């Protein structure tokens, strides 16, 4: 939806949080509860992680794959695809996002990993892999909650997906072998499966993207846009958050043992992750504002730059280094830190909006 229609401008901006649904308003509580439930299930239910991981799509557990698809479908069904061509033609938006995602993001994670984990090579490597896996899934949820531009988010996610297939392996080689060698640091050998990366993008973006596009196309042609956006979308909207919570429970159930058995290691890994998310989000938001983008587009750039595709990072780390490796643990800790931090940044974004973007027509007012 366009923001001028979804979030009409008014002279008085009521507090957004007070106008959200119960599910939206207390989302951090539900997410923390889902994380705790998953950890407890993984810790105290024997054989649960084995059962969940028995059937896979690519390298990802089938139940988690289903949760991700349920999470992404409603968001992609909301996108007005006839407006994406205009977004894709915005060279300023595209250029800024590509530089942040594929040049600055990996470099920031590489720097933080080496500065803060110089004595822990396995965790350091795992974080570098996380930094290379750009977000193609949950960022759509965070962007929607922060009232970013849905069409821009869909375009940027699609572009990230293409670059992920093309560039992930090359960047992994550069940041794990070439650059450390130039700097006189220890190097790491790793081979990344092109097929695993391709399947991840195809399943977690391709399926819900096609489903969302076809749903809007058929819905508008048969019932009209007013019915589609006024009646149908509100009914399927909550399923995005249901899918998110379901995915979080399963993800942490699968990795509960690793996280609860190594709390000090988790704390060490968490420090560079928190720094990374904060640096990328704040930097991207301010750069977008300085380049003249409005609130909706600046927010979208910020969340697509800060988020990471932890499903792919975990799958690559496990496939390359093994399920019990330090690299895999670093990948698992990624969503443990990313989810609550980015949810918090949603609220920060809504709070900062009128201060950084006064009189902006795309400011959220719902």
Given a cut of 70, the residues of the chain with pLDDT beneath it are 1-25, 57-60, 192-193, 196, 323-324, 365-366
pLDDT at res. 12: 36
Angle, in degrees to the nearest 10, between helices 62-78 and 150-173: 140
If one counts every other C-beta atom within 10 angstroms of the C-beta of residue 50, the result is 9
Question: In sequence order, which residues have a C-beta less than 8 Å from that of residue 135 and are 6 or more positions away?
Answer: 157, 160, 303, 304, 306, 307, 308, 309
Q: Is 105 among the domain residues?
A: yes
- Cα maximum dimension of the chain: 64
Residue 6 lies in a domain: no
Read off the pLDDT of residues 171-183 as tens digits, 9 standing for 90 and up: 989 999 999 999 9
Tokens 């280094």 found at: 321
Q: Has residue 346 been placed in a domain?
A: yes
Residue 188 domain flag: yes
Q: Establish if 8 belongs to a structural domain.
A: no
**Contact residues for 79 (Cβ-Cβ < 8 A; gap 6+):** 150, 151, 153, 154, 212, 213, 216
Number of domains in the chain: 1
Contact between 31 and 248 under an 8 Å Cβ cutoff? The reply is: yes
Q: Is 25 exposed, middle or buried (0-12, 13-18, 19+ CB in 10 A)?
A: middle
- The CA distance from 36 to 246, in Å, is 12
Check which CATH number belongs to the domain holding 144 and give it.
1.20.1530.20
Domain membership of residue 135 as a residue range: 28-356
Could you list the beta-strand ranges (E) of 255-317. Answer: none
Q: pTM value?
A: 0.79
Q: Is 361 domain-assigned? A: no
| Residue 153, in any domain of the structure | yes
Give the pLDDT confidence score for residue 1 in this predicted structure. Answer: 37
Is 321 part of any domain? yes
pLDDT tens-digit readout, 196-215: 677 777 777 788 888 989 99
Give me the sign of the Cα torsion angle 77, 138, 305, 288: positive
């Amino acid at each position: 939806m366009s923001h001028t229609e979804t979030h009409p401008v008014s002279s008085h901006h009521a507090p957004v949080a007070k106008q959200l649904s119960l599910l939206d308003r207390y989302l951090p509580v539900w997410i923390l509860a889902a994380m705790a439930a998953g950890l407890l299930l993984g810790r105290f239910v024997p054989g649960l992680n084995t059962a969940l991981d028995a059937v896979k799509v690519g390298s990802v557990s089938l139940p988690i794959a289903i949760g991700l698809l349920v999470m992404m479908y409603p968001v992609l069904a909301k996108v007005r695809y006839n407006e994406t061509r205009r977004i894709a033609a915005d060279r300023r938006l595209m250029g800024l996002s590509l530089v942040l995602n594929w040049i600055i993001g990996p470099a920031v994670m590489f720097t933080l990993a080496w500065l803060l984990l110089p004595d822990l090579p396995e965790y350091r490597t795992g974080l570098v892999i996380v930094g290379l896996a750009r977000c193609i899934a949950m960022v759509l949820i965070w962007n929607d909650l922060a009232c970013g531009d849905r069409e821009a988010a869909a375009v940027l996610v699609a572009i990230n997906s293409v670059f992920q297939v093309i560039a992930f392996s090359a960047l992994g080689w550069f940041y794990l072998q070439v650059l450390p060698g130039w700097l006189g640091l220890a190097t790491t050998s790793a081979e990344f499966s092109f097929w695993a990366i391709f399947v991840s993008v195809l399943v977690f973006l391709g399926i819900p993207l096609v489903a969302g596009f076809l749903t809007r196309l058929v819905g508008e042609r048969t019932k009209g846009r007013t019915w589609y956006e006024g009646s149908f979308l509100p009914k399927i909207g909550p399923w995005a958050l249901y899918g998110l919570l379901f995915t979080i429970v399963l993800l942490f159930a699968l990795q509960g043992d690793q996280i609860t058995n190594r709390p000090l290691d988790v704390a060490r890994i968490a420090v560079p992750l928190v720094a990374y998310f904060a640096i990328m989000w704040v930097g991207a938001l301010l750069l977008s504002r300085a380049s003249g983008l409005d609130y909706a587009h600046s927010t979208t750039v910020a969340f697509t730059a800060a988020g990471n595709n932890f499903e792919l990072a975990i799958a690559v780390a496990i496939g390359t280094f093994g399920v019990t490796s330090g690299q895999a643990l670093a990948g698992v800790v990624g969503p443990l830190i990313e989810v609550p931090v980015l949810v918090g940044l949603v609220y920060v974004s809504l709070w900062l909006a009128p201060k950084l973007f006064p009189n902006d027509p795309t400011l959220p007012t719902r």
